[in-house]
Amino acid sequence: MTWRKKILIFLTAVFLAGAIFLLFFNFNANQSIKKIVQQTIPEGPVPDTFKKSSSSASLPAAANAQQASLDVPFLSQAPFGIWDPLHEDACEEASLIMVKHFLEKDGNLTSTSGDAEIRKMIQYEEQNNYGISITLEQLNQIAKNYAGMQTGRVKNNATIEDIKKELAAGRPVIVPAAGKILPNPNFRNGGPNYHMLVIKGYDKNGFITNDPGTRKGEGFRYAFNDLYNAIHDWDANNILNGQKVYLVFN
């Protein structure tokens, strides 16, 4: 056997020995790693600390909020203090206009622009045979067909908690009322027989409103029961028989 063959056989033997060693080392290393992993992560349910957080985690109910305050622009139903027959019955229109500007994030509501909007809405109502006083459901129809506000919802058998939930969710609430039993010292002649206003917030002391029936109506406060007891939808025979309802827009 020549010396070249001897060298070739030797190199082949070294190569095979090295390959066998590497295979044996890798096998032992994998077994060790597997044991370490098994010891680190216990069997059974994954602990909460390892679970991926979910964006759908439960949040406190809106009704639990201690207070709410919405930035609803104010508009008196008589923007220039002229209480003529048109403006004496414009509380429905003024209330809807305030909420419309809130939803559109349009705080540019002046006496001039507001008065023009009131007049245009009343003109539409006259052309479509609405009466001087309208129910909340009729106001919702006007909101849809005239103002393009398609998401109105009238809530029947409303409660104080229902109203608070709407406000906590960011929705101002339009309510009809028997004006004579609303304790507002700014009303003339004891207040209107039928009235409408916007509730824009509440705190521990009661509701915060934008009451269009007086130039001092921005942020006017009513105790919870004082306002709730006065809530009555339009009833031509007896306003006190009117239902407890409200109107919101989703």
| CA atoms of 202 and 208, how far apart (whole Å) | 5
- Tens place of pLDDT per residue across the chain (250 aa): 555 555 556 556 655 565 555 555 454 544 544 444 344 434 443 333 323 333 333 333 344 589 999 999 999 999 999 999 999 999 999 999 999 999 999 989 999 999 999 999 999 999 999 999 999 999 999 999 999 999 999 999 999 999 999 999 999 999 999 999 999 999 988 899 999 999 999 999 999 999 999 999 999 999 999 999 999 999 999 999 999 999 999 9
Structure tokens given for 18: 């090295």
Domain ranges of the chain: 69-249
What's the CATH fold of domain 69-249?
Cathepsin B; Chain A (3.90.70)
Q: Which amino acid is at 244?
A: K
Cβ-based neighbour number of residue 131 at 10 Å: 12
Q: Where do we find the tokens 């304790």?
A: 183
> Is residue 187 within 8 Å of residue 69, measured between CB atoms?
no
Reported as type and span, the H/E element at residue 196 is strand 194-203
pTM above 0.85, yes or no: no
> Is residue 187 within 8 Å of residue 214, measured between CB atoms?
yes
> Is residue 102 within 8 Å of residue 72, measured between CB atoms?
yes
